């Protein structure tokens, strides 16, 4: 009987160990990029699909980065929906509060704005939820095919996020 209990305990330890190691990475909340068509000369049905594609590329790039653990998108979406229940969009302060509530150090958010069929703008920010300070505030003018350029812009922003997080981690480890 005892050996069986020992094996179960050992198996539990082996299963729990990777979870602990994985949680050692700082968490990152990524809010879905928002679409802003207020200044567009023409709104089209596929405009929001461009923003969804950019969000997907941002998430995919950050999930591949070993320096952070990206919080589950469904969990983030549910938290944003609850925060916006009063009718106000989740602004920077709201995003930082959500990140802290979800146990994340970092929060990335942004807006994709359409000005014309050939010119779109990506505004994206990275915040340190522990200090409340903006770490990155980037603007990208996306010209050409929006279905290709918006995800490419989101990828570039994600790469800058990776560098910023890695630099801050290195500075904290080796002051």
- 10 occurs within a structural domain: no
pLDDT of residue 175: 60
> Residue 22: pLDDT above 60?
no
- 74 occurs within a structural domain: yes
- 69 occurs within a structural domain: yes
Per-residue confidence band for 31, with pLDDT thresholds at 50, 70 and 90: very high
pLDDT of residue 52: 98
Which CATH number characterizes residue 92's domain? 3.40.50.10610
- 7 occurs within a structural domain: no
pLDDT tens-digit map of 45-55: 999 999 999 99
The whole domain housing 149 covers 26-173
Let me know: does 13 contact 88? Beta carbons within 8 Å. no
Spatial distance between the Cα atoms of 5 and 121, rounded to a whole number of angstroms: 60
- 138 occurs within a structural domain: yes
Report which of residues 173 and 100 the model is more confident about: 100
What total number of domains does the chain contain? 1
Q: Characterize the bridge pairing of strands 119-128 and 69-70.
A: unpaired
CA distance readout (Å), 15 to 3, 18, 22, 168: 18, 7, 12, 31
> Residue 81: pLDDT above 50?
yes
Spatial distance between the Cα atoms of 43 and 174, rounded to a whole number of angstroms: 50
This prediction's pTM: 0.84
- 141 occurs within a structural domain: yes
- 88 occurs within a structural domain: yes
pLDDT tens-digit map of 93-117: 999 999 999 999 999 999 999 999 9
């Amino acid at each position: 009987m005892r050996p069986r209990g020992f094996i179960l305990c050992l198996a539990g330890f082996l299963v729990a160990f990777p979870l602990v190691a994985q949680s050692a990475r700082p968490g990152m909340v990524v809010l879905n990029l928002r679409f802003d068509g207020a200044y567009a000369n023409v709104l089209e049905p596929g405009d929001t699909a461009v923003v969804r594609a950019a969000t997907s590329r941002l998430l995919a790039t950050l999930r591949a980065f070993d320096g952070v653990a990206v919080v589950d998108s469904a969990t983030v979406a549910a938290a944003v929906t609850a925060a916006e229940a009063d009718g106000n969009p989740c602004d920077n302060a709201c995003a930082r509060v959500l990140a802290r509530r979800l146990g994340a150090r970092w929060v990335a958010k942004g807006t994709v704005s359409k000005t014309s069929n050939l010119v779109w703008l990506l505004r994206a920010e990275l915040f340190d939820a522990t200090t409340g300070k903006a770490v990155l505030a980037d603007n990208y003018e996306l010209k050409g095919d929006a279905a290709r350029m918006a995800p490419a812009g989101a990828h570039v922003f994600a790469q800058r996020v990776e560098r910023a997080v890695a630099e801050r981690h290195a500075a904290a480890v080796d002051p």
